[in-house]
Amino acid sequence: MFLLPCCALVLLLLTCLALEPPPRHPPPSNPAFRGFQRRFLLGYLPALAADWLQGPLLFQLLHSRGFLRSQIAALYSCGFASNVAFGLASGVFVDRLGRKKSCVLSSGLCSVSCLLQLSHDFLALAAARVLAGLGTSLLFSAFESWYLHEHLERHDFPAEWIPDTFSRVALWNSGLAVAAGLLAWLLAEGLLLDPVAPFLVAVPFLALSGIFTGKNWDENYGKSRPCGKACGEGVRGLVSEPQALLLGLVQALVESILLIFAFLWTPVLEPHGIPLGIAFSAFTAASAAGSALFRRGATGRLRLQPLRLLPGSVLLLALALVLLALPLDPPGDFLAVLLLQLSCGIYFPAMAFLRRRLERGGDPAGGARWLRLPLGLGVALVLPALPGDPAGTRGVFGAAALAALVALGAAGGVLGTSRGDEGLRIGDEGLLEGDAGE
């Protein structure tokens, strides 16, 4: 089963190159902007590389420590719970502490988490997962918030230049994800090192990010808002805006399903002898192909609208989960997982576009966090109780497929309640800042 993921990886990378639409505008040539953009990328990209290195072999590492599947699930739950719970207040926390300090703190928390992976003690590993959840939450909130403030407020660069930076981030992020899977495979299987090796390799990247950010970035802060007020605004937005409520339900259901998948993909594929690092690279390439497909469809001749692409991506997700619920052969399982990742590549930019366009002066993610909280914590609580036999795992995927169908109904509701709303459509200007970011 070595040839299948290798061939899939090559084909998906070629597909990404073929689907990627040409840039609508020439890149900015302003030297001051280029220098500022370079400083941002040098601080952000190493942290993203370190995050990807921690993904491919986590389950295998914990299993090599002698833990039972239920114990491994409990460790995963610690990370999921800390990420979901802290995500509710992460925006307020970052604004108060300072965005640069939050970026440095993210690198520090993730570094300690990686070093704790050397331990064989359950409590130490549980602490590692909690720290990883906190650090990851900061990673995906502080860095981009810092950049947008610096770009618009301190340097007063045109907003039209922002997509150039985030398109570069997306391109580099996809490449780093693929490289991380291959490097993890090379370290753990090619060089016969312990599965902890990718975690240790991630530490220098985190140190580089933290040190560079601390020395070369200026501090900035957001509006000082009480946490209760910020959360209340999110709840009021859900109650007063049916579209926001339905969109938040889609996000909460889909991302809860992905939490379960993050735990189950290794037990599904590892018994087939599929190299996990190479499989991980193929997954990320499939997701990148989905994102390229979204950009091609949204900005090409077809001008497909995110309102329609979102239900389509959820339908693909449900189909992939149905396939995983069936007793397929190893190639079938692997291809089903690739389909799931392809659907995610379409889902995330479509969701980001609609969420930002529904912001309208408020917090686009605040209400969704309230819906994510009970579902995410529910997943964290039930994960250790999931059946460990193959038939039970198939049943879990079947239940997840039903949840995806509920999400599909909610996505259809967003489409139905948004007909004629030009604010949720891509106009002649194409995708703007933040429209196609996660």
Cβ neighbour number for residue 270 with a 10 Å cutoff:
15
DSSP 8-state symbol, 89: T
What is the identity of the amino acid at 345?
Answer: G
Please report the pLDDT score of residue 423 as a whole number: 63
**Is 433 part of any domain?**
no
DSSP-based three-state secondary structure for 383: helix
**Is 148 part of any domain?**
yes
Q: Where are the alpha helices (DSSP H) in 217-305?
A: 227-240, 242-269, 276-299
**Is 35 part of any domain?**
no
Please report the pLDDT score of residue 54 as a whole number: 95
CATH number of domain containing 76: 1.20.1250.20
Mean pLDDT per 10-residue interval, the chain, length 438 residues: 91 90 77 95 97 95 93 95 87 92 97 96 97 95 94 92 90 94 91 89 97 96 68 60 84 92 93 92 95 84 83 96 93 95 95 77 56 82 88 94 96 81 61 46
The b/e string for 81-117 (b: 16+ C-beta within 10 A; e otherwise) is bbbbbbbbbbbbbbbbbbbbbbbbbbbbbbbbbbbbb
Residue 173 neighbours by CB under 8 Å, 6+ apart: 45, 48
User: Residue 218 has which token pair?
Assistant: 């200026």
Query: What is the Cα 130 distance to its own chain's centre?
Result: 17
* Alpha-carbon dihedral 385, 388, 389, 392, rounded to 10 degrees: 40
Domain count, the chain: 1
Please report the pLDDT score of residue 105 as a whole number: 97
Please report the pLDDT score of residue 87 as a whole number: 83
**Is 26 part of any domain?**
no
Residue 87 neighbours by CB under 8 Å, 6+ apart: 137, 141, 369, 372
Please report the pLDDT score of residue 237 as a whole number: 58
**Is 191 part of any domain?**
yes
* Domain coverage including residue 191: 3-19+42-424
**Is 321 part of any domain?**
yes
Residue 22 backbone class (left: φ over 0; alpha: ψ -120 to 50; beta: rest): beta
What is the identity of the amino acid at 156?
Answer: D
**Is 438 part of any domain?**
no
Please report the pLDDT score of residue 37 as a whole number: 96
Residue 228 neighbours by CB under 8 Å, 6+ apart: none
**Is 9 part of any domain?**
yes
Please report the pLDDT score of residue 435 as a whole number: 47
